[in-house]
Amino acid sequence: MKSKSFLGGLLSAAMLSLALIFIQTANAGHIQGTHVKTEHPSPFSIAISPDGSTLAVSNQSGHSVTFVDAKGKKVTGEVAVHDQPEAAVFSLDGKTLYVCNAESDSVSVIDVASKKETKEILVGDWPCNIKLSKDGSKAYVCCSGNLWASIDIIDTSRNEKVGAIATSGYGPRDIAISPDGSMGAVICDTAGSINRAVDFIDLSANKVVESRRIRHSANLRGIVYSPDGQYVAVTYMKPKNWLPVCEAENGEVFTNNLAVLETKCGGKLAQLPLDELNNYDGTPYGLAIGPQGKYLYIAVRGMHRVTILDFDKIREIMISNTQEQLDGYTDDLDFVNHYLVQRVPVGLGPSQLVLSPDGKFCYVCNYFSNSVSVIRTPL
């Protein structure tokens, strides 16, 4: 039986329109991966400054970054960058923004105060995600291009590429930094593989120390550490290549899942369904976890909503079950009700989301609606 949300009407999504910025970029946009003009900027990812005051929205087809006053919910400016920005991160002091330009194979360095690009740093093929080290001295850039298998390192004091970390497979798509700053967890979305991987990297040695396969996985899209550092969570899709043709024609070729891995070497792995019977979380994308580690938030691009899970209950499942028992839950489409809190409708095509530093608000960029949704969270 489906669990009732104890939150009642607490969770709701408000829409923050970015219409003014869209008018400015209407004549400059491109359709993804081409040079065909479009009137839609297509906000793909969103970053928040360390003090929670400013949002930076990367407009994939508009080739720009929109700045938003998070408290006033108003657009404060826009910066033109290079082709197809897909991710950004603020420096620890909030004065600089680093933006991955996927199609230009570069990272833009933006001065937040003046809202101007001060430098373009060339990196590997198709940079699609970027995260800072705990002390802010380095930026780690995931380059997921064809036959590319490395994380580039930028020295943020000089704003120069200073090295790279080899990954176990092609297509490193996102990196999460452990709470103590010692480790990085990278999802490798290797094309053609049905057992894609999470690499655990010792950031002092810049070396992969363990690679964990997620059985029958594809389209790994986001990864995050729990605040205690004991788990990482990964959004992905599970191919079902054994389906009859009639089911394949109906699009039933994937189920949508969350992988939860213990971070200790050789730890347990749970492949937990996000789908219910006749209610599917199609194409789970970005994710974030609250500062207390209780709730996990997932942008579900195909169903235009944010799914909120009780991570405390997921932790209990991890602790109280053997690996063999965990394996048995993967295809149980009633199991999600053990940890589902609520599904919150947002705009069309939410791809990435971010939480305010205090965890009180979740900001979601809606790719097809050209908007940002704001959700008041249960903390």
| Token pair in block for residue 200 | 């655990």
> Would you call 7 exposed, middle or buried from its count of C-beta atoms within 10 A (0-12, 13-18, 19+)?
middle
Q: Which of 142, 152, 188 is nearest to 169 (CA)?
A: 188
How high is the pLDDT of residue 254? 76
297-332: b or e for each residue (b if 16 or more CB lie within 10 Å)? bbbbbbbbbbbbbbbeebbebbeeeeeeebeebbee
Query: What domains are defined for the chain?
Result: 13-376 (2.130.10.10)
How high is the pLDDT of residue 237? 92
How high is the pLDDT of residue 349? 96
- Taking the C-alpha atoms of residue 349 and residue 209, their distance in angstroms, rounded to an integer, is 36
* pLDDT top residue among 249 and 197: 197
Share of the chain above pLDDT 70, in %: 85
205-242, pLDDT tens digit by residue?
999 999 999 998 989 999 999 999 999 999 999 886 54
- Is the Cβ–Cβ distance between 257 and 271 less than 8 Å? yes
* Mean pLDDT across 57-76: 94
Q: Which of 364, 367, 368 is nearest to 343 (CA)?
A: 364
Least confident of 107-116, 129-138, 248-257, 265-274: 248-257
Give me the chain's average pLDDT, please.
88
Share of the chain above pLDDT 90, in %: 79
280-304, pLDDT tens digit by residue?
999 999 999 999 999 999 999 999 9
- Taking the C-alpha atoms of residue 353 and residue 45, their distance in angstroms, rounded to an integer, is 7
On the question of pLDDT at 255 being above 90, the answer is: no
205 φ, ψ to 5°? -100, -10
| Token pair in block for residue 161 | 């590429």
**How many Cβ atoms from other residues are within 10 Å of residue 229's Cβ?**
16
On the question of pLDDT at 54 being above 80, the answer is: yes
- What is the model's pTM? 0.90
17-42, pLDDT tens digit by residue?
554 333 222 233 333 444 444 566 89
How high is the pLDDT of residue 244? 43
CA distances 349 to 285, 304, 342, Å, are 10, 5, 18
- Is the Cβ–Cβ distance between 284 and 256 less than 8 Å? yes
Name the pLDDT band for 369 (thresholds 50, 70, 90): very high
145-193, pLDDT tens digit by residue?
878 999 999 999 999 999 999 999 999 999 999 999 999 999 998 766 7
* pLDDT top residue among 195 and 359: 359
- CA 130 to chain CA centroid, Å, is 10
* Mean pLDDT across 46-53: 98
- Taking the C-alpha atoms of residue 264 and residue 158, their distance in angstroms, rounded to an integer, is 34
- Taking the C-alpha atoms of residue 49 and residue 89, their distance in angstroms, rounded to an integer, is 8
- CA 300 to chain CA centroid, Å, is 11
Question: Which residue is it, tokens 């602790």?
Answer: 319
CA distances 248 to 240, 244, 254, 255, Å, are 9, 6, 9, 12
How high is the pLDDT of residue 241? 55
Name the pLDDT band for 116 (thresholds 50, 70, 90): very high
| Token pair in block for residue 90 | 């603020």
- Is the Cβ–Cβ distance between 124 and 164 less than 8 Å? yes
DSSP H helical segments within the chain, as ranges?
A: 19-25, 245-249, 311-320, 323-327
How high is the pLDDT of residue 195? 82
- Taking the C-alpha atoms of residue 323 and residue 319, their distance in angstroms, rounded to an integer, is 10
How high is the pLDDT of residue 28? 33
- Taking the C-alpha atoms of residue 305 and residue 147, their distance in angstroms, rounded to an integer, is 33
Question: Which residue is it, tokens 């939410």?
Answer: 350
On the question of pLDDT at 50 being above 50, the answer is: yes
* Mean pLDDT across 78-87: 95
Q: Which of 142, 124, 161, 316 is nearest to 221 (CA)?
A: 142
